[in-house]
Structure 1
Amino acid sequence: MTMKFAVRPQLHGYDTFAAFTEAHTVTERDLIFTQRVLHDAFMKDTPAQTLFYDDFCGGEPTDVAVDEMLRAVRKLGFERLIAIGGGSILDCAKVLALDSDKTVAGLFAAGVQPGRKAGLLLIPTTCGTGCEVTCVSVFDFPSIGSKIGKGFDAGFADHAVLIDELLSKIPYHVFATSSADALVHALEIYLAPRASAYTDMFCMAAIRAILQGYMRIVQHGRDVIQQDAKAYLTASNMAGIALANVLAGGVHAIAMHFGSAHHVPHGEATRLFLPPVFKIYYEKAPDGKIADIARLIEDVVGVSDGGNPFDALDALLAAVVPTRRLGEYGMTAGDAGRYADKVIETQQRLLVNNYVPLSAQDIARVYSELM
């Protein structure tokens, strides 16, 4: 197997947004793409132009909403696009910065890889997707009933910037589900067939940091999150670096369809399916690389004698990132087989990265166990 590894954007870290604007000389020739609440909290004093995500979309981005953003941004003149927000905003920015007059459907067509028309800086306000260092954009396509991701060579930012202060306003649910998504990235990519010593290093560091942070929340309460902001941002970024080189697998594949069908935020969906998928992996091949993760869970979380480490992980997630049963989102027991078939049909890009193959029956079992 051949190996390829790269870190494309330059990485920067600052304590405050003001320190970032001074270091990067933000001017009226810049376009800040963000949410109004973030702009009002941190960015009022900047001379940059603004474009607000919430003027186009109230939830996760659809191809229709991004088409509206493209029409708006193509009327503006700017030299750098500075995107500040969660994964949805950063994913949109990668497309908004492309030098193309195509719609999202046209951009997502096979073989379409336009260049970039402006500089691109990506600044996360959650500690989850790590997409500030990836080139992939994921949008919901309601017409086909699923979320689809595509990597653009020009989608890599020039600069990825981590700012501790931006986590100070994050709602707990957003923190919890986004950090769980970072954990899923690291866990899945560590087990992926195309993982390398380099992705392994970033993944294991991210897994350990997030699990240690979760244990601190259990032991000391939610107030420790702000004390650990830098650690969470770094862990998410490390998982993102791994994701920029190796795609995620079955957890994301199953979550993509469910999230689209029931309008569930991405981080919440991946957190839902992490425990049952990894329990199947551990059941099928306990002596492979998953044994390394099992030992790490035992070391950080603790496992009773003879216990399943992924039961311990499940219990920790239930304490820190609580979720609902799938039926509460609107799924019915009869949907499991149909959903599994849809995952097989639409998510091969991710399923090929599974630790061990998941059949349609395995995927249906995952859905059924969470009903």
Structure 2
Amino acid sequence: MHFALRPQLHGHETFAAFAEAQTLGARDLIFTQRILHKTFMQDSAAQVLFYDDFCDGEPTDVAVDEMLTAIRKMDFDRLVAIGGGSILDSAKVLALDSEVDVAGLFEAGVQPSRKAGLILVPTTCGTGCEVTCVSVFDFPSIGSKIGKAFDAGFADHAVLVDEFLSKIPYPVFATSSADALVHAMEIYLAPKATPYTDMFCMAAIKSILEGYMRIVEHGRESIQQDARAYLIASNMAGIALANVLAGGVHAIAMHFGSVHHVPHGEATRLFLPPVFKIYYRKAPEGKITEIAQLITEILKVPQDGTNPFDALDSLLAKVVPTKRLDEYGMTEGDRRPYAAKVIETQQRLLVNNYVPLSDKDIAAVYTDLM
């Protein structure tokens, strides 16, 4: 068994409090989006590099190569990344001490050291990547997203700032928090899960589902009251993810999101219910019963044989609505080729499944959502 918590964790109510505590100044480089800088950071003396000067969506290897070219010309002591998962994942690579491109960095065995201090500050409540060392980029040349863990990718400090959720658009909140839920649920069932990851995962699942029930009962205004709870739940799921990788939901979402340019959290939310229904059908007496029981209690699922993952599906439809796969551009004829591509490119994740998923199982997941 192995478990580690690498970055120091900090929490602040505002960016100003965080900046004062970390004494941000001219030797620091803030890597963020323009709108975030304009809204929260205009008074900072730190240097700035804007993610949106290079990319207007999730990062590709080509876009990150351009970021690397720009940042290698700059002089700074600490890289302070403030944003969603795309920004934080990119920052882990930008802080590495290397002159090669992304393709070179993603080659097997390549593990550069870090050239600067690294502080990661999430502005969403989903990926939890402020406490992981993995960077996930889209590689259009191979038609899929690929992730790699860098030993030096762990931040020195991971910082949760309540204020950053105050202006989060609802769709971003919904899909990012759903991604945190997926992390926690998948890792809880992973073969390499430990009592420590179990503890973080179950706490995260409980917090997110309770928050979702409050949204359904009291409306979206409850999100701000629960902002810190969502940030902590996302962070807890991220701590688990730093120790045990996610599984089949993420594997299927990686390929689909790459082909159809679907944001990561939206893609993982799509595939969570059908994958877990397969798990529950194949091994209903295993560890999944503990998640099923928690869902039953929080969602008040009737004790009449109702599948708790059907109830979860219904809750997600209210809080994180999505589209059918054909509305994203997928066709019936894509099911088998997509399944084969997942098997080919995502073994890093598929080995963490609760039970094995065959290409027929994956094709059935697509069928369920068509």
If the TM-score is normalised by the length of the shorter chain, which range does it land in? over 0.9
Whole-angstrom distance in 2 between the partners of 1:226 and 1:37? 20
Q: Distance in 2 between matches of 1:62 and 1:261?
A: 12
Match of 2:238 in 1: 240
Q: 295, 298, 308: which one pairs with 1:297?
A: 295
- Aligned ranges 1:61-76 → 2 under 5 Å: 61-76=59-74
Which of 144, 157, 162 in structure 1 is aligned with 2:160?
162
**Matched AA of 1:215:** M
TM-score, normalised by the number of residues in structure 1: 0.99
| Partner in structure 2 of residue 347 of structure 1 | 346
In structure 2, give the amino acid aligned to 1:339: Y
What is the Cα deviation at residue 302 of structure 1? 1.5
Alpha-carbon distance in 1 for matches of 2:147, 2:367: 26
Using the alignment, how far apart are the partners of 1:262 and 1:22 within structure 2? Answer: 42
Q: Look up the match of 2:51.
A: 53
Which residue number in structure 1 is paired with residue 365 of structure 2? 366
SS in 2 for 1:157: coil
Deviations 1:39-91 (A, max 9, x none): 00000000000000000001000000000000000000000000000000000
Q: Secondary structure at the match of 1:244?
A: helix
Alpha-carbon distance in 1 for matches of 2:368, 2:255: 17
The equivalent residue for 2:280 is 282
Corresponding residue for residue 189 of structure 2: 191
Give 1:163 deviation, angstroms: 0.2
Q: What stretches of structure 2 of length at least 5 have no aligned partner?
A: none
Native 8 Å contact 1:189 1:249 kept in 2: yes
What per-residue deviation string (whole Å, max 9, x for no partner) do you get for residues 107-158 of structure 1? 0000000000000000000000000000000000000000000000000000
Q: Of 209, 214, 233, which residue of structure 1 is paired with 2:207?
A: 209
- Supply the AA of the counterpart residue of 1:15: E
Aligned mates of 1:22, 1:340 — CA distance in 2: 50
1:8 to 6, 16, 28: 6
Q: Deviations over 1:273-313 (max 9, x none)?
A: 00000000000000100000000001101212210000000
Give how far 1:8 is off: 0.1
Of 102, 111, 115, 2:109 maps to 111
Q: 2:128 aligns with which of 122, 127, 130?
A: 130
Task: Give the whole-Å Cα distance in 2 for the aligned partners of 1:286 and 1:302.
Answer: 19
Task: Judge conservation of contact 1:341–1:360 (CA < 8 Å) in 2.
Answer: yes
1:123 maps to amino acid: V
Task: Determine if contact 1:302/1:312 at 8 Å carries over to the other structure.
Answer: no
What percentage of aligned pairs have identical amino acids?
80
Distance in 2 separating the partners of 1:227 and 1:84:
22
Give the letter for the 1:319 counterpart: K
What SS class does the counterpart of residue 312 from structure 1 fall into? Answer: helix
Distance in 1 (alpha carbons) for counterparts of 2:107 and 2:268: 26
Tell me what 1:325 maps to. Answer: 324
Aligned residue in 2 for 1:34: 32
Structure 2 CA distance for aligned equivalents of residues 241 and 301 of structure 1: 25
Pairwise CA distance, 1:235: 0.1
Q: Name which of 9, 22, 25 aligns with 2:23.
A: 25
Specify the alignment match of 2:88 in structure 1: 90
Aligned to 1:142: 140
Q: CA deviation digits over 1:194-224, x for unaligned, max 9?
A: 0000000000000000000000000000001
Match of 2:315 in 1: 316
Deviations 1:237-270 (A, max 9, x none): 0000000000000000000000000000000000
Count of matched residue positions in the alignment of Structure 1 and Structure 2? 369
Aligned AA (2:362): I
TM-score relative to the length of structure 2: 1.00
Per the TM alignment, residue 160 of structure 1 is displaced from its structure 2 partner at its CA by 0.1
Looking at structure 1, the residues matched to 189 and 305 of structure 2 have their Cα atoms a distance apart, in angstroms, of 23
- How far apart, CA to CA, are the structure 1 residues paired with 2:127 and 2:204? 12
Give the 3-state SS of the residue equivalent to 2:262 in structure 1.
coil
Letter in 2 for 1:184: V
Amino acid at match of 1:362: D
- In structure 1, stretches of 5+ residues that fail to align are none
